[in-house]
Amino acid sequence: MRLELGKIFIKDIQFADSSKIEDGVLYVNKEELLDAVSGDEHIKSIEFDIARPGESVRITPVKDVVEPRVKVEGPGEIFPGVIGKVDTVGEGKTNALKGMAVVTTGKIVGFQEGIIDMTGEGAKYTPFSKTNNLVIICEPVDDLKQHDHERAVRLVGFKAATYLGELAKELTPDETTVYETKPLLEQIHEYPDLPKVAYVYMLQTQGLLHDTYVYGVDGKQIVPTFLYPTEIMDGAIVSGNCVSACDKNPTYVHLNNGVIEDLYARHGKDYNFVGVVITNENVYLMDKERSSNWTAKLVRYLGVDAVIVSQEGFGNPDTDLIMNTKKIEGKGIKTVIVTDEYAGRDGASQSLADADPTANAVVTGGNANQVIQLPKLDKIIGHIEVVNTIAGGNEDSLKDDGTIEVEIQAITGATNETGFNYLSAKTY
């Protein structure tokens, strides 16, 4: 598949009488956007706000972050099986609004939503302090079940991103990047002298608000399979997760997967990037065995020399990570794993819940238990009281003076593993 990704850089967002993109500014008509995202009986009210880099603004609790994109040419629509029809995507032309994001917030869904600070110490740990954010505050009806609440807010975010993306359909991109992965036999023969590398993309799919969707299908319902990397850029994978904010992959990260982008950047130079194997993270041992067996089988079928394996989440999924690594290494294929760690506040605890000697090439996103101090900020979008409840916080996190003491796991995207450059770890 060949995808031309057109990048339209957004330097500011403003509310206006009409929705349009002009001279790098995204103008948003609130009434039109509200019409586009409304209609779910589970949502009592929807409001919009804007948070810009450097402003004294804190957004919490953050549910999801989404980058607006639109199909310009080629089959399918963005977010197939969720918003668009279930057509195969990943080829043709797609435009993306870069430098901005849609952020959903409101009354807390689970207990692991996070914080985005647009300035101060917290801003150092989240990539979304650097984006112009259109924030959607969704308040649920009373006594709503958590899974209905999560689904309703998730769809509001996708509808908003789709509406905004459509504004860019007829625009000429500021910059265009071409990504191409050919059918397997063609791809292998194109660069016969380079090491063949694949990416094993582990998706959080343990249920109970720990969900990821592939073409609209709950990931725990699938067995490992192949995807063209460009399918992921068109929204074939989206987040439904309420796991710890620091190490879940918001939809924005799926669309902008750093491992995929880095492998493409070195494709044809240092590596022959042959494709992606997606696999799920399971609760029961039998399911873990099945998925890790299939993952190793598919990687071997590709005939690659090495793989990058990234994990989403921590604790129980550490076992999926190590099982994948051990079985792939057992087939003579080298692995580099990309993960974060939960080593305790003093850094002295076991970093991963599972381990094996074959997992000897590791790139870490850091210790999610590290404690940081967040200053009082002038404006809160959402509900500040939740910082005492979310993962990484405690009943004493919010101080009387407005400052906050939390572990970095409370920061959205703080140790997100798919955004790090892992390629310095030799894989062949």
User: Which runs of E-coded beta strand occur in 52-183?
Assistant: 57-62, 64-66, 69-73, 92-98, 100-105, 114-117, 132-140, 175-180
| Residues in the chain, overall count | 428
Rounded to whole angstroms, the Cα distance separating 153 from 43 reads 8
Q: What are the angstrom distances between the C-alpha of 346 and each of 190, 312, 328, 407?
A: 49, 23, 33, 12
Q: What residues form DSSP beta bridges with 117?
A: 58
Can you say how many angstroms the Cα of residue 223 is from the centroid of all Cα atoms in its chain? 21
Among candidate residues 273, 235, 282, the one with its CA nearest the CA of residue 80 = 235
Mapped onto helix, strand or coil, the DSSP state of residue 316 is: helix
* β-strand pairing of 237-239 with 272-281: unpaired
Give the amino acid at 379: K
Q: Alpha-carbon dihedral of residues 285, 287, 291, 292, nearest 10 degrees?
A: 10
Among candidate residues 235, 98, 93, the one with its CA nearest the CA of residue 174 = 98
User: For this structure, is 242 an active site residue?
Assistant: yes
Catalytic residue among 222, 232, 242, 406: 242
Rounded to whole angstroms, the Cα distance separating 163 from 36 reads 7
Q: State yes or no: cis peptide before 317, omega within 30 of 0.
A: no
Rounded to whole angstroms, the Cα distance separating 407 from 319 reads 23
Question: Catalytic site residues?
Answer: 242
